[in-house]
Amino acid sequence: MRSAERHVVGAHYGLTDWLAQRVTAVVLACYTLALLAIVAWHGGLDHAAWRALWSHAAFKLATFVFAVALFWHAWVGVRNIVMDYVKPAGLRLAVQALTIALLVVYLGWTVQILFGGNA
Question: Which tens digits make up the pLDDT trace of 48-94?
Answer: 999 999 999 999 999 999 999 999 999 999 999 999 999 999 999 99
pTM, to two decimals: 0.83
**CB neighbour list of residue 24: distance below 8 Å, 6 or more residues apart:** 69, 70, 72, 73, 76
What gap in Å lies between CA 93 and CA 58, rounded to an integer?
A: 38
- Which pLDDT tens digit goes with each residue over 14-57? 889 899 999 999 999 999 999 999 999 989 989 999 999 999 99
Cα separation values, 77 from 13, 52, 72, 87, 98, Å: 12, 35, 9, 17, 14
Q: Is the Cα torsion angle 22, 26, 28, 33 positive or negative in sign?
A: positive
Q: Provide the pLDDT for residue 15.
A: 87
- What is the band of 3 on the pLDDT scale with cuts at 50, 70, 90? low
Of 93, 110, 69, nearest to 11 by C-alpha is: 93
pLDDT of residue 2 exceeding 60, the answer is no
Q: Provide the pLDDT for residue 14.
A: 82
Whether the CB-CB separation of 60 and 88 falls below 8 Å is answered with: no
Q: Report which residue type is found at 105.
A: V
Task: Tell me the HSE value of 49 on the side-chain side, using a 13 A CA sphere.
Answer: 10
Q: Provide the pLDDT for residue 23.
A: 98
Q: Provide the pLDDT for residue 88.
A: 96
